[in-house]
Amino acid sequence: MSRIAYVNGRYVPHSEAEIHVEDRGYQFADGVYEVAAICLGRIIDEEQHLERLKRSLRELQIAMPMADAPFALVCREILRQNRVRDGILYIQVSRGVARRDHPFPEDIEPALVMTARASNWPTDPDSDSGSKVISVDDIRWLRRDIKSVSLLPNVLAKQEARDKGAYEAWLMDDEGFVTEGSSSNAWIVDLEGRIVTRELDPRILGGITRATVIELARKNGIEVVERKFSLDEALSAPEAFLTSTTSFVRGVVSINDKAVGDGTPGPLTRRMRGLYFEFCRGAGSNI
């Protein structure tokens, strides 16, 4: 079955899906995106993804390309046309097309692209054998709370991780604290058995998985602390893990080739992965 993409009002074969050479997303990274997971035909945390998209757009003074109801219809239609029951929905909005010039052009229409792709998500919480992480300097701009398509530092960090045989790169601020991963949020378990992740501010992306994991933990009597942690603290923590839309909850078993805990995903990590899987299979918002 050939894939279909949505591009500015049209459903087109993926291989023919094109944007204009003067799209500002392409020329200036002047745009934002969302990635949502689809589980059992449902868009997980749909409302939260929509709210974050609107917030990112607002921060950049880009208009939402359409009202909520037609937007939700396009999301469903792209999933239907690509027959995605389990997979990923990708949404990108750029400021639009205009003659290249830095300031915002007047009377410009935002450009909207959506794609969907099937993926076989794991269903067994114990399927995670744990991931290796490396640390690199966080060289990004200071508005990481905006989910901008300007991802070059993230790409370079992830490539460095791959080159070193690791799954993810944890990004380090000037003071030796971990901000987040190149495409995920970073967590540890402290010596008192609380789970710890950096507080929200413009230095990290407010992950939708992060928010859901915090809620699930608290509902299940697990204490969560939102504060910075250093690389040294992570290295001596009993457990570490990462979260994102496409990685769900994954154990971090080494950082820079030094084992975290006993070098396997720890009990709280596995518990959170289990709770998150349960949430995805049951409670994600309904299509």
Q: Which residues are catalytic?
A: 147
Neighbours of 85 (CB within 10 A): 11
Rg of the chain in Å (alpha carbons):
19
- Closer Cβ to ligand PDD, 115 or 245, answer by number: 245
From the CB of 35, what's the least distance to ligand PDD, in Å?
Answer: 4
- Closer Cβ to ligand PDD, 56 or 245, answer by number: 245
Phi, psi for 111 (deg, rounded to 5): -105, 135
From the CB of 3, what's the least distance to ligand PDD, in Å?
Answer: 18
Binding of ligand PDD by 115 (CB under 6 A) = no
Query: Which residues ranging from 7 to 46 are in contact with ligand PDD (CB under 6 A)?
Result: 35
Stretch of 5-13, 156-164, 227-235, 238-246 lying at the interface with ligand PDD (CB under 6 A)? 238-246
- Closer Cβ to ligand PDD, 128 or 180, answer by number: 180
- Tokens 């987040």 appear where? 180
List the one residue out of 211, 218, 217, 234 whose CA is nearest residue 272. Answer: 217
Binding of ligand PDD by 207 (CB under 6 A) = yes
Residue 94 makes CB contacts below 8 A (sequence gap 6+) with: 19, 23, 24, 25, 26, 30, 31, 62, 110, 111, 149
- Closer Cβ to ligand PDD, 82 or 92, answer by number: 92
Taking the C-alpha atoms of residue 133 and residue 162, their distance in angstroms, rounded to an integer, is: 10
Question: Which tokens belong to 169?
Answer: 């790169």
Interface residue with ligand PDD, options 56, 92, 184, 197 (CB under 6 A): 184
Give 72: exposed, middle or buried? Use CB within 10 Å, 0-12, 13-18, 19+.
middle
Stretch of 59-67, 158-166, 239-247, 249-257 lying at the interface with ligand PDD (CB under 6 A)? 239-247
List the one residue out of 49, 118, 63 whose CA is nearest residue 95. Answer: 63
On the CB side of 60, CA atoms within 13 Å amount to 31
Interface residue with ligand PDD, options 5, 157, 205, 234 (CB under 6 A): 205
- Closer Cβ to ligand PDD, 19 or 200, answer by number: 200
From the CB of 115, what's the least distance to ligand PDD, in Å?
Answer: 12
Interface residue with ligand PDD, options 94, 131, 135, 183 (CB under 6 A): 183
Applying CB under 6 A, the residues found at the interface with ligand PDD are 35, 154, 180, 183-185, 205, 207-210, 243-246
